[in-house]
Amino acid sequence: MPHFKYIGRSKDGERVEGVVEAADRAGALRQIEGTGHVPVSIAETTKTVSQASGSKKRLRFELGFHRKPRMRMRDLLLFSRELSDLVASGMTLGRALHTLSSRKDESAAGKIILALRDEIIQGTSLSDALTLYPETFSTLYINLVRAGEASGHLPLSLENICVHYERVQEAREKVIAAMIYPAIVLGVGILSVIVLMIFVVPRFTLIFEEMGATLPRPTLVLMHISNFMTRYGIVVLVLIVFLSIVIRRTVSKGPGKIWWHRAQLHIPIFRGVITSNAYAHFSRTLGTLVINGASILPALGIVQKTISNVIIADEVGQARERVTDGSSISGPLAAGKVFPNLLTDMLAVGEETGDLAGSLKHITRRYDNQLDRMVKTCTTVLEPLLIVAVAVVIGAIAMCLLLPVLTLTNSLQV
């Protein structure tokens, strides 16, 4: 089919250009006008849509230091929901993207939507256009869209994407919200201790030195610590920041990441939150893919990439290899001893009844509820523990400062 390169004007008078694929010149004109652009010139070209897109990529690479825009999770959810609603109402995909891009949004989300619209106009499928922004659109997102395009049910796929990511965001916000109060308590406690050690304790030290009193051992230890923090506090802070960076990099890749993620599964307080979130995410993602018609092996491969804990993700990968040999899903998952028996038993029932998607839906609901309970339990346990720990530290500092006063008072009474 011929390709036509055009130059036109948008509704605001801005210059636009691109390449469209059409049977003839009239068809190309209809495509251009369908986007709301006014064609100024149009000519047949030998350059295809993919070649035009590739030249843009090469130009950006040659210029260097080009960083593609990236949507935040909230922006991604809003874009997905609006696109789903527009397409479900009967609007064509190109028209829907044109409607969303006409807001003249200069943010990263606006730039991505505009680029997607241009790709769709030029004949690129939505799934292929999404691959241009892998930092925004995950493998799961792209594959769900591709499944919807293949089955002819793109509105339904977009709706499933919205539901999936809204639930993922909701689970993430629950965990973050549960950590806010303990983080505030811990931060206030650390700040209070620093203020006491740097500003309050040195003043008491001067008073005790002027009095010439004999100080108890706890008070002497406290004063030495305060003196060290006053003199070398900046050095200690730099070392803490440096060690934090080193530790973070160590546990973010390689053996360090494996060790840290395995350790997370054995921490008493956080283990339940991490595993419940991972199991709910596994069943939700796999169920969404199954509902959209994805086969089991590719679906498990996608699920493996979306699970944050590498231990659980590796177990999914090993189960995928066993499934390749003809096994069921539940059997390989149960063999690894990472997934709980309840989850694998519910999967087995779904496989036996032929309703795997229904079983995954029940598993998701079960572990979503368990995540809620574990988050509440974590918050209930952490709050008093942190408050008591802060009170003990500050109380110990206060007692160390009061001991010389009590000793001096007793000696005066004698």
Return the H-helix or E-strand segment holding 215: none
Q: Is the pLDDT of residue 242 over 90?
A: yes
What local confidence, expressed as pLDDT, does residue 61 receive? 40
CA dihedral angle for residue 265, residue 266, residue 269, residue 274, rounded to 10 degrees: 0
Cα 139 to Cα 143: distance, rounded to the nearest angstrom: 6
What local confidence, expressed as pLDDT, does residue 239 receive? 93
3-state helix, strand, coil in the chain (%, to 5): 75, 5, 20
Cα 151 to Cα 144: distance, rounded to the nearest angstrom: 11
pLDDT range class, residue 134, cuts 50, 70, 90: confident
Q: Is the pLDDT of residue 308 over 70?
A: yes
pLDDT range class, residue 213, cuts 50, 70, 90: low
Q: Which residues of 258-269 are buried (b: 16+ CB within 10 A; e: fewer)?
A: eebbeebeeeee
User: In angstroms, what CA-CA distances link 228 with 195, 205, 312, 385, 388?
Assistant: 14, 13, 45, 28, 26
**Please, which residues bridge with residue 41 across strands?**
7
What local confidence, expressed as pLDDT, does residue 324 receive? 66
Provide, rounded to the nearest whole percent, the portion of the chain with pLDDT above 70: 88
pLDDT range class, residue 363, cuts 50, 70, 90: very high
Structure tokens at 409: 């008072």
Burial of residue 178, with CB atoms counted within 10 A of its CB: 0-12 exposed, 13-18 middle, 19 or more buried = buried
What local confidence, expressed as pLDDT, does residue 60 receive? 41
Q: What is the largest CA-CA distance in the chain?
A: 111
Instruction: Tell me what the mean pLDDT of segment 245-255 comes to.
Output: 88
What CATH number matches the domain at 153-414, 1.20.81.30, 1.10.10.60, 1.10.3720.10, 3.40.50.300?
A: 1.20.81.30
Instruction: Tell me what the mean pLDDT of segment 15-25 comes to.
Output: 74
Q: How many residues does the chain have?
A: 414
How many CB atoms neighbour CB 144 within 10 A? Answer: 28
Quickly tell me which residue has 């030998």 as its tokens: 46
pTM comes to: 0.65
Cα 114 to Cα 99: distance, rounded to the nearest angstrom: 10
Mark out the alpha helices in 91-153 (DSSP H runs).
Answer: 93-101, 108-121, 126-130, 139-151
What local confidence, expressed as pLDDT, does residue 107 receive? 80
How many CB atoms neighbour CB 373 within 10 A? Answer: 12
Instruction: Tell me what the mean pLDDT of segment 62-81 comes to.
Output: 74
Instruction: Tell me what the mean pLDDT of segment 298-310 comes to.
Output: 85
Cα 136 to Cα 71: distance, rounded to the nearest angstrom: 6
Over the chain, what is the mean pLDDT? 81
Query: Could you tell me which residue, 237 or 408, shows the higher pLDDT?
Result: 237
Query: What is the domain partition of the chain in residue ranges?
Result: 3-63, 73-137, 153-414
What local confidence, expressed as pLDDT, does residue 218 receive? 86
